[in-house]
Amino acid sequence: MNELDELAHERLIERLESRAQVNTFSDLFEKYVNRIEIPEAGKILEVGCGTGVILRQLAQRHGFDARGVGIDHCKSFIDAATKYADQESVADSLEFRLGDAHNLDFEDGEFDVVICHTVISHVTEPAKILSEVARVTKKGGVIAIFDGDYSSLTYAFPDHSFGRKMDAALSNTTFNNPRIMCDLPRLLPQFDLELTDAWGDAVVEIGQGSYFKTFAETYAPYVKNSGQLSDQTVDIWLKEQNKAMENGTFFAACNYYTYLSKKV
Ligand SMILES: C[S@@+](CC[C@H](N)C(=O)[O-])C[C@H]1O[C@@H](n2cnc3c(N)ncnc32)[C@H](O)[C@@H]1O
């Protein structure tokens, strides 16, 4: 890994940790996890676990007695996940391993619950992920998929036409599948996954930005690197977002969806 990659990973680690503390966002995890029955001494897999913050939050819940495994294809995230689990005294019930979500290194039917929290929009072959999570889940087990529909991502900007271009560039450069969450009702049954519950939530920040502030700071450099918009226009956009936050006039929003399905 070169120095630039290292910096980018550090920034992503910070973002994953900080967004999990934003109530608007963490409430969405609570909302679906509260509806999942985790069997006593059950086994949970998080695919694309990043820094492991979701599994750590789960392990810290009252009465948690399951075993969690998190996999991610990025070594620096797995190292961070292992370190934080140790620091937060949940390492006994959690384990983090390097792995590719497209090719899970687990037996068929090994898990009671599989969680994909903001990962399916990032992977290169979402259908392969669905096939793999279905394979490693027990019959009757639960698969929770939570992510944004990033075609709905929007930041206010006085020039609406440029604002929409920047929204689209942020979505296209950050995510491999910005619209995948709209396809799941059609895709899930193809992998023996029966939809048991699904709903949508809008994440909206008005006046001040927290979740969308770090989103803009983390991903605007990707737009520059892609060459879709000039560095200068991206800087003007970022400056406008910061000014809006200083003045309390900020606005940004995106729709998020949760799908709970059962392996049949
Ligand atoms: C937005 S992060 C979400 C992390 C974590 N689920 C959370 O909510 O904090 C997406 C994660 O998916 C991982 N990822 C993307 N493609 C992957 C793949 N093919 N196999 C394993 N992990 C992958 C990334 O490295 C990153 O950690």
pLDDT tens column, 127-178: 999 999 999 999 999 999 999 999 999 999 999 999 999 999 999 999 999 9
Listing DSSP states for 96-139 in one string gives EEE-BTTB--S-TT-EEEEEEES-TTTSS-HHHHHHHHHHHEEE
Number of domains in the chain: 1
* Ligand 1 center to 201 CA (angstroms): 21
> Confidence band (pLDDT; 50, 70, 90) for 46?
very high
The domain spanning residue 187 has which CATH number? 3.40.50.150
CA dist., res. 120 & res. 100, Å (int): 12
Q: Which residues form ligand 1's pocket by a CB distance below 6 Å?
A: 16, 48-50, 53-54, 72-74, 77, 100-102, 117-119, 122-123
SS3 content of the chain, % helix, strand, coil (to 5): 45, 30, 30
Atom of ligand 1 lying closest to residue 123 CA? 16
| pLDDT in the model for residue 2 | 55
What is d(CA 208, CA 215) in angstroms, rounded to the nearest whole number?
13
Complete DSSP assignment for 47-104: ES-TTSHHHHHHHTSTT---EEEEEES-HHHHHHHHHHHHHTT-TTTEEEEE-BTTB-
Q: For the chain, what is the largest distance between any 2 Cα atoms, rounded to a whole number of angstroms?
A: 55
Q: Give me the mean pLDDT over the 224-252 stretch.
A: 97
CA dihedral 168, 172, 11, 163 (to 10 degrees): -10
Residue 150: the pLDDT is: 98
pLDDT confidence bin for 74, thresholds 50/70/90: very high
Alpha-carbon distance 213 to 215, whole Å? 5
The residues pairing with 205 across neighbouring beta strands, listed in sequence order, are: 252
Distance 105 CA to ligand 1 centre (A): 16
Average pLDDT over residues 12-25: 91
Mutation pick for ligand 1 pocket among 44, 72, 146, 214 (CB with most ligand atoms within 8 Å): 72
Domain hosting 171: range is: 3-263
